[in-house]
Amino acid sequence: MAKLRPDQLAGALKKQLAPVYLVCGEEPLLVQESCDTIRKAVKSAGFNEHERYHNEPGFDWEHLLTSANSMSLFAERKLLEIRIENGKPGDKGNKALQAYCEAPSEDNVLLVVCPSKPDQRSKWFKSLEKIGAVVQVWPITAQQLPRWIEQRLNQAGLNAERAAVELLASRVEGNLLAAVQEIEKLKLLAEGTITADTIANIVADSARYDVFNLTDKALHGDARAAIKTLHGLRGEGTDATVVLWALAREVRSLAQISHATSQGQNFDWACKNAGVWDKRKPLMKGALRRLKLQQLQMLLRKANAIDKAIKGMRDADPWDDLLDLTLNIAGTFSLTPSVQNLALKY
């Protein structure tokens, strides 16, 4: 079947429901929205059950195949969703996905979610692509962002001057989630045509805490301000998953840049490959003066441990761990590396 862009997905779902969907890409907002669109369409088509699986270490792929094949007279049709974080299902996952695609059931729809780029040459990818639809999410470039924001404003029933769109694009600096949040705020506060002055007043004067302020303060090394923002986010009821996503995203970028520069790559080129905007380069450079590659790799393991705590797979308070992770990014380590590694096991 076809490869689809996110903006083509809704139309394709109205025409025909595929037995398998693969949503892949490194822009979390667009991946999430694409998955939500598929879930809604599948539910409307009468697939009322929804089972979610995560390809975590130790995951048994037989569970997926068993669930797909276990139908009784009174069973509901269902959506089977499997999330593969690194885009690599492993040998068992490769075989399981191929086996599923060889005999897909009319009573199931399979949704495979890869928040990273999978290998399109792999057998499992080709099997899914042959019978299903692949939704490829590409990052929105700096040149595309104003047009994307303008479309979102129009969808929200808002009309904005070109200068206002350009200003909003410069403020969010490629963070689509931040752009959507600002548009939602404009729906509540703006009246008439949105001008550059409207953006300057409403966006700049926002008193709320947000995850992007948190990451900027942590990268800047301002531990006290970062922790204040973190407490504010928790007090406002922000989901811990969103906070973790923002912090982990910066740590992954730092680790990628650190590894590239250690191999002799130019810093500016390494930032470009990591998707870092020019205005954020000073923040990244400052953070890399404090954080070495080994420390960043440890922080990635810590982020993974926090994710398990959020999902209930680890007995720990996610917000306590997020506090520690924020301090670490800001350059404050309360535990020695050996004790840090020991703590991640529990």
pLDDT digits (tens, 9 = 90+) for 92-145: 999 999 999 998 888 899 999 998 778 888 999 999 999 999 999 888 887 889
pLDDT of amino acid 204: 56
Q: Answer for the pair 285, 206: CB distance below 8 angstroms, yes or no.
A: no
Q: Are 38 and 113 found together in one domain?
A: yes
pLDDT of amino acid 110: 94
Q: Are 159 and 84 found together in one domain?
A: no
Q: Are 317 and 222 found together in one domain?
A: yes
Contacts of residue 197, defined as CB under 8 A and 6 or more positions apart, other chains included, come to none
- The tally of CA atoms less than 13 A away on the side-chain side of residue 279 is 9
**Nearest-angstrom CA–CA distance, 290 and 251:** 13
Which CATH number belongs to the domain containing residue 183 in this structure? 1.10.8.60
Q: Are 236 and 190 found together in one domain?
A: no
Q: Are 303 and 276 found together in one domain?
A: yes
Q: Which residues of the chain have pLDDT under 70?
A: 1, 71-75, 173, 204-209, 334-346
Domain, as residue range, for 128: 3-137
- Does residue 223 lie within any of the structural domains? yes
- Does residue 299 lie within any of the structural domains? yes
- Residue showing tokens 């590409």: 138
Q: Are 130 and 149 found together in one domain?
A: no
- Does residue 338 lie within any of the structural domains? no
- Does residue 340 lie within any of the structural domains? no
Give the single-character DSSP code of 17: -
**Nearest-angstrom CA–CA distance, 198 and 189:** 9
pLDDT of amino acid 205: 43
Q: Domain end: 95, 115, 137, which one?
A: 137
pLDDT of amino acid 104: 87
Which CATH number belongs to the domain containing residue 51 in this structure? 3.40.50.300
* pTM score: 0.59
Q: Are 289 and 179 found together in one domain?
A: no
Q: Answer for the pair 133, 12: CB distance below 8 angstroms, yes or no.
A: yes
- Does residue 339 lie within any of the structural domains? no
Whole-Å CA distances, 127 to 1, 55, 67, 122, 168: 11, 18, 19, 9, 42
pLDDT digits (tens, 9 = 90+) for 232-277: 889 888 888 889 998 998 999 999 999 999 999 999 899 888 888 7
- The tally of CA atoms less than 13 A away on the side-chain side of residue 311 is 11
Domain total in the chain: 3
Distance of CA 65 to the CA centre of its chain: 27
